[in-house]
Amino acid sequence: MKWELCIEHMNHLVHNPDWDRIHEVIQQMDGKTITNFVLDPADDEGASLLCGGGDVINGEKRYKVEYYCEDGSGYCLINPEESADKEYELTIRVPDVQLAKHCVKQEEVIKAFEYFYKTGKRNPELLWEEY
């Protein structure tokens, strides 16, 4: 598949990035300089995967990952270690309160994006919640 990597809402667009570039962007996210990116199919046919955040929470970077389907439905990657009633502040362009269960660690983000980059689908080994 051919991809477009859109960093900071079109401020920087990379046509057909390799996996190393996507991995680098995930690691560079800090909740300040880089707060979001989207991986879209270059032909606009298929699902998209969005990542926001990178803020440090309890000593680890946390991110929100959303999978958007062609039919308009969507899924959010879930952190099963967090309770459903807890909240954290993540920066996705601007600081905003997110459910803690939606604030996943970098390891899960990498697994989600690597699988998506290779297949165009959600990683079935991770937990997703439809919204």
Structure tokens at 127: 């937990």
**For residue 12, what pLDDT is reported?**
85
Three-state DSSP class for residue 83: coil
Exposure string over 110-128, b if 16+ CB within 10 A, otherwise e:
bbbbebbbeebebbeebeb
Query: How many residues are there in the chain?
Result: 131
Scan for tokens 């970098």, then name that residue: 106
User: Taking Cα atoms as reference points, which of 115, 17, 130, 109 lies closest to residue 54?
Assistant: 109
Q: Which residues pair with 80 in a beta bridge?
A: none
Scan for tokens 């991809």, then name that residue: 3
Mean pLDDT, the chain cut into blocks of 10 residues (131 residues total):
88 92 97 95 95 97 97 96 94 96 98 98 98 92
**For residue 31, what pLDDT is reported?**
95
**For residue 10, what pLDDT is reported?**
63
**For residue 50, what pLDDT is reported?**
98
- What is the distance of C-alpha 85 from the center of its chain? 22
Residue 96 backbone class (left: φ over 0; alpha: ψ -120 to 50; beta: rest): beta
